Amino acid sequence: MKPSLLILGGTTEAYALADVLAARDDLRLISSLAGRTTNPRLPAGETRIGGFGGPEGLATYLREQDIRAVIDVTHPFASRMGWNAVEGCRSADVPLLRLERPAWMPEPGDRWESVESWGRAVEVLRQGEARRVLLAVGRQELDHFAGLDAIWFLIRLVTRPDPLPAFPSAEWRLSRGPFDLADERALLDTQAIDTIVCKNSGGEATAAKLIAARERGIRVIMLQRPARPRIAMAATVAEALGWLDGILG
């Protein structure tokens, strides 16, 4: 029987890894999505959708499906799944790899304020320098900022939240990356943005706003990544494939 592999997905890298592995006829590939978006893009290979029911649920799934290896390619900010993966894989005795894109690092000319929580980001905004803010955070994180009535927000999201948080002064822009540098420059200029609030997702798709901000001396309030367990790590799909070959022998 072919060995089964589980990808914990939801990221660009997870789709890229699935594209490569689904083409192999020496293994069975299952990708798992959390099910946060309706009509998600489906990865190549088999897909399952929805939570497992914590680490115990994941361990049960791994045993039932006779999974030989798990690769956690969830988003850098999806840390609960990361901790659950470690516990679930340990209890089912299944090897686990974390594939994670590197974090963005500040470069000369950047005006980044690194924060550890959205609460701290709000405190920084309350200090008064910001008037016109590009808010590039997730749907679930918007409520932290809705009470800042001295600030006008340009809120960029993939899908419109329902209900819409009550921002006193805001414009909504629905769009999905990748965003290109010329468009990001134009957005910051035409909207006279003085501050960007975002999280350190890393990767190419949403990095152009940081370059445009650097060129203009615009401040970036950057949420640091949450802590993740220390496990075997890969930074690229190629490294993950090397690890997998070692596991499958």
Ligand X SMILES: NC(=O)c1ccc[n+]([C@@H]2O[C@H](COP(=O)([O-])OP(=O)(O)OC[C@H]3O[C@@H](n4cnc5c(N)ncnc54)[C@H](OP(=O)(O)O)[C@@H]3O)[C@@H](O)[C@H]2O)c1
**Interacting residues with ligand X (CB under 6 A):** 8-11, 32-34, 36, 51-54, 57-58, 74-75, 77-81, 84, 138
What gap in Å lies between CA 40 and CA 162, rounded to an integer? 18
Which residue, 157 or 241, has its beta carbon nearer to ligand X?
Answer: 157
Name the minimum Å distance from CB 14 to ligand X. Answer: 7
Name the minimum Å distance from CB 248 to ligand X. Answer: 22
Name the minimum Å distance from CB 48 to ligand X. Answer: 8
Per DSSP, what are the bridge partners of residue 234?
99
Name the minimum Å distance from CB 36 to ligand X. Answer: 5
Half-sphere exposure at residue 247, Cβ-oriented, CA atoms within 13 angstroms: 21
Q: Which residue is nearest to ligand X (CB)?
A: 51
What gap in Å lies between CA 4 and CA 95, rounded to an integer? 12
Which residue, 62 or 152, has its beta carbon nearer to ligand X?
Answer: 62
* Closest by Cα among 16, 211, 230, 205 to 112: 211
> Which tokens hold the place of 153?
């927000």
Which residue, 73 or 188, has its beta carbon nearer to ligand X?
Answer: 73
Which residue, 8 or 213, has its beta carbon nearer to ligand X?
Answer: 8
Which residue, 10 or 45, has its beta carbon nearer to ligand X?
Answer: 10
What gap in Å lies between CA 237 and CA 101, rounded to an integer? 10
Name the minimum Å distance from CB 99 to ligand X. Answer: 11
Single-letter residue type at 109: G
* Closest by Cα among 217, 193, 213, 221 to 127: 221
Tokens 């799944």 — which residue? 81
Which residue, 84 or 152, has its beta carbon nearer to ligand X?
Answer: 84
Tokens 């990221």 — which residue? 11
> Which tokens hold the place of 46?
């088999």
Single-letter residue type at 191: Q
Name the minimum Å distance from CB 249 to ligand X. Answer: 27
Name the minimum Å distance from CB 209 to ligand X. Answer: 16
What gap in Å lies between CA 69 and CA 13, rounded to an integer? 17
Which residue, 59 or 152, has its beta carbon nearer to ligand X?
Answer: 59
- What phi, psi does 18 have (nearest 5°)? -65, -40
